[in-house]
């Protein structure tokens, strides 16, 4: 038996979660029986999509939090896994995982860092790729606006837009983030949404309007974007982080939806599993772009499982640039 720690949700938050909603619990994990493996997690993924599950019962109380993770097989009595295998799974937010192999994938990161499979090369990247190219039906040279553009999904979306020769506008919540977007990722225009009028700043940043608004935020951002949309514009709705910490998942009221009518705008919610069948093309494109320097990434890393609740809460207060990760010893 080995002692390990895991993060439990112990109370459902109504608004912004606090550390009081979580507990770090010590448990004993036995050795693998026949057909089982023991995984030592090395990296855990922290994602805005975890927030709605805290309130809507998809995340059980008093059980380890669901989250993406990568780890190493430290003991195996399963024919498909051997000691030392690098693996990826969705049962994160714990140090050790005893598993029958269900939902555990062996990871071969090649010459790239394994953590990329938790963001640019994982669900985060596929969300940006599918949301922009499939749901958003992006065409070369269009005008694109991405909110929360310095976040994990947003920063991939803006770079795909740039690769497709689009005039690309991004919003973010600090000057440091805006500098990264403008100076390193090469965006055409950036907006610090915490300074001045978002509506006015977006109007100035989009003199030729917006063809695709990739929405991660909802609320005030969507309200400002709708009057700027060009005819036949598309709004893929990836997330509405502004609504996640409001009871009933209600965002700030969007008052400008009537702009959709005469301009024949389409707004469409999507979920990453829609794009599963294009994963091979996605990986091929993304690995190429990473290697030729056109796809950059940042990681914001917190150390140790004790910091996992703080990492999750930090997503909603803007603590991360790029992907928020928790590193385990």
Helix (H) or strand (E) holding 261: helix 259-262
Q: How far is the CB of 174 from a second copy (least distance, A)?
A: 24
Q: How many CB atoms lie within 10 A of CB 228?
A: 22
x/- binding map, residues 249-288, to a second copy, per CB under 8 A?
Answer: xxxxxxxxxxxxxxxxxxxxxxx--x--------------
Least Å from the CB of residue 236 to a second copy: 10
The residue within the footprint of a second copy, chosen from 239, 302, 312, 322 (CB under 8 A), is 239
Q: Among residue numbers 203 through 222, which ones bind a second copy (CB under 8 A)?
A: 218, 222
User: Min. distance of Cβ 86 from a second copy in angstroms?
Assistant: 31
| SS3 of residue 42 by DSSP | strand
Confirm if 174 and 151 have CB atoms less than 8 A apart: no
One symbol per residue from 286 to 315: x for binding a second copy (CB under 8 A), - otherwise; what is it? ------------------------------
CA-based max dimension of the chain: 66
Tokens for 224, please give them.
């400002």
Q: Which is nearer to a second copy, 62 or 90 (CB)?
A: 90
Figure out which of the listed residues 237, 283, 290, 301 binds a second copy, where binding follows CB under 8 A: 237
| Closest by CA position to 184, among listed 202, 211, 162 | 162
Shortest separation between residue 261's beta carbon and a second copy, angstroms: 4
- Structure tokens given for 227: 């009057």
Interaction with a second copy in 41-60: which residues (CB under 8 A)? 52
| Dihedral angle over CA of 324, 239, 119, 275, nearest 10 | 170
The minimum distance between CB 89 and a second copy, in angstroms, equals 22
- The C-alpha R_g of the chain, in whole angstroms, comes to 20
**Do the beta carbons of residue 214 and residue 146 sit within 8 Å?**
yes
Interaction site with a second copy (CB under 8 A): 52, 218, 222, 237-240, 243-244, 248-271, 274
């Amino acid at each position: 038996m080995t002692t390990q720690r895991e993060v439990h949700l112990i109370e459902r938050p109504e608004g912004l979660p606090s550390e009081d909603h979580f507990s770090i619990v010590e448990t004993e994990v036995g050795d693998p029986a026949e057909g089982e493996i023991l995984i030592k997690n090395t990296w855990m993924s922290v994602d805005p999509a975890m927030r709605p599950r805290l309130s809507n019962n998809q995340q059980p109380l008093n059980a380890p939090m669901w989250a993406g993770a990568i780890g190493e097989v430290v003991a195996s009595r399963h024919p498909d896994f051997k000691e030392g295998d690098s693996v990826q799974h969705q049962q994160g937010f714990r140090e050790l995982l005893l598993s029958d192999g269900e939902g555990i994938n062996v990871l071969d990161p090649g010459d790239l860092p394994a953590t990329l499979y938790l963001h640019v090369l994982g669900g985060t990247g596929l969300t940006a790729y599918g949301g922009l190219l499939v749901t958003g039906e992006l065409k070369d040279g269009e005008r694109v606006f991405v909110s929360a553009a310095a976040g994990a999904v947003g920063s991939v979306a803006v770079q795909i837009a740039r690769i497709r020769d689009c005039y690309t506008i991004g919003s973010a919540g600090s000057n440091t983030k805006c500098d990264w977007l403008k100076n390193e990722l090469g965006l055409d225009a950036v907006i610090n949404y915490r300074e001045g009028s978002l509506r006015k700043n977006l109007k100035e940043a989009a003199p030729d309007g917006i063809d695709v608004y990739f929405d991660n935020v909802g609320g005030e951002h969507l309200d400002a974007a709708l009057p700027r949309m060009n005819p036949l514009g598309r709004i893929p709705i990836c997330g509405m982080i502004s609504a996640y910490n409001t009871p009933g998942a209600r965002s700030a009221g969007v008052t400008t939806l009537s702009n959709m009518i005469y301009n024949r705008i389409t707004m469409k919610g999507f979920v990453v599993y829609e794009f599963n069948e294009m994963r091979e093309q996605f990986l091929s494109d993304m690995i190429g772009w990473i290697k030729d320097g056109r796809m950059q990434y940042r990681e914001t890393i917190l150390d140790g499982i004790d910091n996992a609740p703080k990492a999750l809460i930090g997503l909603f207060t803007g603590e991360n640039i790029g992907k928020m990760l928790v590193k385990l010893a």
